[in-house]
């Protein structure tokens, strides 16, 4: 079964995460949330340049509400610090993810239950 990876934010750092995912030999379904159209194009170009469409599936949406209701195996939050907390809370309320990666910190979901 394919793993679902969610990447929130496809700016300079987010695109680097996407490049790392694209290099994996394991097949993934990648969902990217990025409101900025220019960053969306950059992310799509980086992904296409890696020539791995046969391994991974790439999807991009403008906002969290555009995501399908899936269980995400890994969620990478690569946003500005000022919105990171609210994005995390919104995700925890509406989506299930097994593991969060945010600013060099990797946490299993069970440790996020009592997040302030």
pLDDT in tens, 17-76: 888 888 888 888 999 999 999 999 999 887 777 655 567 888 999 999 999 988 999 999
In angstroms, the first-to-last Cα distance of the chain is 34
Instruction: Please give the C-alpha separations between residue 71 and each of 25, 45, 80, 98, in angstroms, as whole numbers.
Output: 21, 26, 24, 8
Tally the C-alpha atoms within 13 A of residue 84's C-alpha that lie toward its C-beta: 14
Calpha distance 109→116 (Å, rounded): 14
Q: What is the pLDDT of residue 87?
A: 87
Phi/psi of residue 97, each to 5°? -140, 145
State which fold the 3-111 domain adopts.
Answer: Rossmann fold (3.40.50)
Domain boundaries, the chain: 3-111
pLDDT-derived band at 104, boundaries 50, 70, 90: very low
């Amino acid at each position: 079964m394919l793993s679902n990876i969610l990447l929130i934010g496809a700016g300079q750092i987010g695109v680097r995460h996407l490049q790392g995912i694209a290099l994996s030999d394991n097949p993934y379904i990648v969902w990217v949330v990025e409101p900025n159209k220019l960053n969306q194009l950059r992310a799509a170009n980086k992904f296409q340049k890696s020539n791995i469409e046969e391994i991974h599936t790439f999807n991009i949406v403008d906002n969290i509400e555009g995501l399908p209701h899936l269980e995400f195996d890994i969620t990478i939050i690569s946003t500005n610090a000022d919105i990171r907390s609210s994005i995390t809370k919104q995700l925890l309320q509406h989506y299930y993810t097994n593991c969060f990666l945010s600013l060099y910190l990797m946490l299993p979901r069970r440790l996020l239950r009592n997040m302030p």
